């Protein structure tokens, strides 16, 4: 929803970059699923992310709750991956809507998911 990138999408982006790389040349890209959020929503995302998320994805709260998950209370940054789309033709295949659709239908999640995983940042507190 705000900075999601699967391993599969990251691999595709790297392959595209290798195929389209200017020689010689160098560019940096932000790789992330496209965000639905607008810059004008930044303050509200920081203050009350679930309200903003629910405007775009009304079923998200209930779908997450059904999994025992909760939406982030605050989103402090949103990545803009439009340059990767423009220069490489890259768009993530897996976005938040795809994840929600899998949760809604009971299908397998469209990415590798380890429910026991705790990020290093969360471990540090």
CA 38 to chain centre: 15
Spacing of C-alpha 71 from chain mean position = 13
Instruction: Give 44-55 pLDDT, tens digit per residue.
Output: 999 999 999 999
pLDDT at 24 over 80: no
HSE, CB side, 13 Å, CA atoms: give it for residue 10.
Answer: 6
pTM for this entry: 0.77
CA-angle at 46, arms to 117 and 13, nearest 5°: 55
- The model's pLDDT over 53-98, given as tens digits with 9 standing for 90+, comes to 999 999 999 999 999 999 999 999 888 889 899 988 999 998 999 9
| pLDDT tens column, 90-123 | 999 989 999 999 999 999 988 877 778 888 888 8
């Amino acid at each position: 929803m705000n900075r999601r990138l699967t391993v599969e999408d990251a691999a595709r982006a790297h392959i595209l970059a290798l195929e389209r790389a200017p020689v010689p040349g160098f560019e940096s890209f932000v790789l992330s699923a496209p965000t639905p959020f607008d810059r004008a929503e930044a303050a509200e995302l920081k203050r009350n992310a679930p309200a903003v998320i629910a405007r775009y994805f009304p079923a998200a709260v209930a779908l997450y709750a059904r999994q025992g998950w909760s939406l982030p209370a605050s989103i402090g940054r949103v990545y803009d991956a439009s340059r990767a789309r423009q220069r490489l033709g890259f768009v993530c295949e897996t976005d938040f809507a795809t994840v929600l659709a899998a949760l809604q239908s009971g299908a397998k999640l469209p990415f590798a998911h380890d429910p026991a995983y705790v990020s290093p940042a969360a471990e540090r507190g």
